[in-house]
């Protein structure tokens, strides 16, 4: 092959080589959105919209009576209200009231929001431990729950995937904020917390706001292997 011929062939092959580099870059972008099954991948698939109006939000009217056992959520119909279901799941060494297999009288919480250890005692100081909706119900209302059926909203309000026992003051401080305005002080729980929010929003066909999406992406960038939790993920199912 002459030198002139080699030059022509090289010139023809150059665009192909560059296209191959471009394809590699695109693959890198896809990886940045997370691998299948990851929280990052699930976040990338969620709709992104501005928050809808909070008009019409009423906790009892729109999401049913608090801690109802009469929903289609896991644990519904087990003859124990949702609050006690979650206390029993999340407290260490739970003790029940005399004659009850449901009502939790005491236990110890390794609080995921603060990292503190909290002693729970039913009575005047029981609010030291509260049950938090990981996706707050008013936030859910503003990001798509207005459009889902009543029975699905009531399931969302009682789904163990969306519930966690937590430090009372931390829960009150969170209020109805999404991930752009509030994350747990215990940074070791941030990735799990955000992944649970994404799982709930995916399961109940909710969306994320632009600021919420950005905050979630920032959190998950530090834990790209974080898997999307399901109803069977460790720490989610109710104890038998």
Could you tell me the pTM of the whole model?
0.85
Sort residue 115 into left (φ over 0), alpha (ψ -120 to 50) or beta.
Answer: left
pLDDT in tens, the chain (240 residues): 554 444 433 443 433 333 333 333 323 333 457 788 999 999 999 999 999 999 999 999 999 999 999 999 999 999 999 999 999 999 999 999 999 999 999 999 999 999 999 999 999 999 999 999 999 999 999 999 999 999 999 999 999 999 999 999 999 999 999 999 999 999 999 999 999 999 999 999 999 999 999 999 999 999 999 999 999 999 999 987
Task: Measure the CA–CA gap between 194 and 191, rounded to whole angstroms.
Answer: 5
Q: Within 13 Å, how many C-alpha atoms sit on residue 96's CB side? A: 11
Question: Is residue 45 packed enough to be buried (19+ CB in 10 Å), middle (13-18) or exposed (0-12)?
Answer: exposed
Domain residue extents for the chain: 1-32, 36-220
């Amino acid at each position: 092959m002459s030198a002139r011929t080699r030059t022509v062939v090289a010139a023809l092959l150059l665009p192909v080589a560059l296209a191959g580099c471009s394809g590699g870059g695109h693959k890198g972008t896809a990886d940045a959105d997370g691998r299948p099954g990851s929280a990052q991948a699930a976040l990338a698939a969620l709709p992104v919209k501005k928050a809808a109006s909070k008009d019409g939000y009423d906790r009892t009217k729109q999401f049913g009576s608090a801690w109802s056992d009469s929903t289609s959520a896991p644990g519904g119909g087990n003859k124990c209200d949702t609050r006690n279901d979650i206390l029993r799941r999340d407290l260490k060494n739970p003790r029940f009231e005399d004659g009850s297999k449901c009502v939790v009288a005491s236990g110890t919480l390794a609080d995921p929001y603060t990292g503190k250890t909290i002693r729970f005692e039913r009575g005047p100081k029981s609010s030291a431990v509260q049950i938090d909706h990981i996706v707050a119900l008013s936030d859910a209302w503003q990001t798509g729950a207005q459009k889902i059926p009543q029975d699905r909203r009531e399931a969302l309000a009682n789904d163990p995937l969306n519930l966690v026992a937590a430090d009372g003051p931390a829960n009150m401080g969170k209020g109805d904020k999404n991930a752009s305005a509030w994350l747990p002080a215990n940074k070791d729980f941030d990735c799990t917390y955000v992944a649970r929010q994404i799982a709930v929003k995916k399961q109940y066909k909710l969306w994320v706001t632009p600021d919420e999406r950005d905050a979630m992406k920032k959190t998950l960038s530090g834990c790209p292997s974080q898997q999307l939790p399901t109803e069977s993920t460790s720490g989610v199912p109710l104890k038998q």
